[in-house]
Amino acid sequence: MASTLGWKGRGPLDVLHSQPYGYVGLFQAYFLMFLLAFGVPNRLRRGWPSRLWNGALLVAHLAPLLIIFVANDVFVSTGSQRMAYIVG
């Protein structure tokens, strides 16, 4: 939440307003950290079935695609929208 508010120019991370690619990287990192923090302990403790674990890892691959929609104006303003779509 703090990085999203900073990207909008508010809060302790307001430097992200002038560094929009910092927000792009933080969004992906936080998303992946959440999945790992949620999935790994449950996988080790409960012995998740491999189908559920594979689903969680599939969702982890959505982070780079999701940021294209969340921060699309960053890519548009820097002229890298086409590159983002190709990589995505």
CA distances from 76 to 15, 17, 38 (A): 20, 15, 33
pLDDT given for residue 44 in this prediction: 67
**pTM for the model:** 0.57
Dihedral pair phi/psi, residue 18, rounded to 5°: -95, -10
State the DSSP string of 15-61.
GGGT-HHHHHHHHHHHHHHHHHHHHHHHHHHH---HHHHHHHHHHHT
What pLDDT does 64 receive?
78
Count of Cβ atoms closer than 10 Å to residue 39 Cβ: 18
Average pLDDT for consecutive 10-residue bins of the chain (88 residues)? 77 79 82 78 68 76 80 82 75
CB 59 within 8 Å of CB 24: no
